[in-house]
Chains A and B, each alone.
Chain A
């Protein structure tokens, strides 16, 4: 008999590696030996592959079969290797031509009757295959829409092992993906629905324009949740590579919407305050899976009732907030998921939270403790804090509220101004610019910085807080169409930072 090779992809987080599968048949008693650090699901593929091959009307070699997955030191998990294993084995007996297998990545789990079942993470697998220099990929039919998002590699969809074998012979065609049509998906609700709340609206507009994090504080029923949901509508549509990075995370999490079209709408992820650490930042045994922070990549992570979240959960957000990614180390390796999200926190001012703050019955200590649960280091990263007020009259504000389209136009203009300023540098929004750059290359005149000096001297402001105020001021300048912030804008930025406001 002989030797044959097929290719598949192993995933570690959203990073994929092309895996070469060698099959050697002959020289011993019948048996099936799988080497190269397979996990339990992959070990079980022995039985699935054999049944699928036999039930597809092919003969199973009655000899010793050794399958080597290379690189051998990389841990391989999951059932997605079944198809490649089957084709490698059939390749040794000449049922499949080696030339047809070369440069082809095969993905999919086999059912016992030879049907091809979808697997998770097809999208990152394809990105890895393309990076690994592969020419074409066969995926299960159900994953075809998802696979079509990757350009630069030929994608084919198959429903069964028989179809794949026929295609490798050149005897039949496989389905090709249809061109992606709808890229926008459903629109988020409109900002005009929210009554009043000028301060909070302004804060969200600034946050959207500069990519800042924001905290909304106000009694229940004033529209904190409504505003946060509409915030997504203010953000620019995702660039194709951003949308692809997000889709890769969703694919690994098994959360890619059906139909698979690449959504350019930034995601809104709103985990409940009872969420576990693993749900929020990612986790799980073996290899960590992505959490809410990664599913909100390039979008919004909305934490309603933020003080109700465990303190350790909120503090776990600090590193992804700073770095835009999260590294999770587990027994079988460390993975890195993207996590560049905008944080929107909503909180009541106190546990009793009456409509008017003066009706509060909480002891002062309880009040202080309540918002104190939002730790200093976390709040230091939140540039904007907005107070929300109870709605006093529905009629007075009806109809004249600005719509999403109007505000969004201003946001996009401000973002364009910022992008022009940072052109040639590595960042795009004001929130990403490092503090030292703001203090040196784009330094503001001394007179403009005077309010910050006062704040630092009085201990109301940390050095990082001062940097953040400068960033917000730049965003205010972009929104106002000015070329640089002056003292007035710095003061306005400080108004949104004031700790007493929260």
Chain B
């Protein structure tokens, strides 16, 4: 695994840990289909929470959340449709969140949670 993938994996672990602390139940991790991948799919009992996790080792090249562009958002929406179909969920409220994880070497890791980001 490349270094960036290791970092991403670590970030996703931290994100899941964070979400579970918030009382969410994680349904899927790294769910893939032809259109792409969903990092974390969770639920807070009322609605489906689809999370995009972005991890960076520093902010020199911008905040991680800035890397979630409208194209990325559109892809996540499409993949979410596929997820719903695959799991035969008929209708439910969906929230799209972004979790920005900054893991700078030698500093405590920060997780910033943008609820209903798009």
Contact = CB atoms under 8 A, between A and B. Distances in A.
Interface of A: 27-31, 62-63
B37 interface: no
B67 to A, nearest CB: 10
Interface in B51-100: 63, 65-66, 68, 98, 100
B66 A30 contact: yes
Contacts of A29: 65-66, 68, 98, 114, 117-118
B118 A62 contact: no
Contacts of B43: none
A27 B63 CA distance: 16
Contacts of A63: 114
A53 to B, nearest CB: 14
A30 B63 contact: yes
B118 A28 contact: yes
Contacts of B114: 28-29, 63
Which 8 pairs from chain A and chain B are nearest by CB? A29-B117, A30-B66, A62-B63, A30-B65, A29-B65, A30-B63, A29-B68, A28-B117
Given A28-B114, A29-B118, A31-B66, 4 more contacts: A28-B117, A29-B65, A29-B68, A62-B112
A107 to B, nearest CB: 30
Contacts of B65: 29-30, 62
Contacts of B116: 27-28
Contacts, number: 21
A28 B66 CA distance: 11
A63 B66 CA distance: 9
Best-surrounded residue of A27, A29, A30, A63 (most CB of chain B within 10 A): A29
A60 to B, nearest CB: 9
Interface string B107-118: 000001010111
A280 B114 CA distance: 56
Nearest to A31: B66
Contacts of A28: 114, 116-118
A358 B114 CA distance: 91
Nearest to A63: B114
21 contacts: A27-B116, A28-B114, A28-B116, A28-B117, A28-B118, A29-B65, A29-B66, A29-B68, A29-B98, A29-B114, A29-B117, A29-B118, A30-B63, A30-B65, A30-B66, A31-B66, A62-B63, A62-B65, A62-B100, A62-B112, A63-B114
A303 to B, nearest CB: 57
Nearest to A62: B63
Contacts of B100: 62
B13 to A, nearest CB: 22
A28 B98 CA distance: 9
B99 to A, nearest CB: 11
A453 B6 CA distance: 103
A29 to B, nearest CB: 5
B62 to A, nearest CB: 8
A118 to B, nearest CB: 31
B58 to A, nearest CB: 14
Contacts of B112: 62
A462 B106 CA distance: 92
B113 to A, nearest CB: 12
Contacts of B117: 28-29
Contacts of B66: 29-31
A190 to B, nearest CB: 67
A21 B114 CA distance: 25
Interface string B27-69: 0000000000000000000000000000000000001011010
Contacts of B118: 28-29
Nearest to A60: B63
Nearest to B114: A29
A62 B56 CA distance: 14
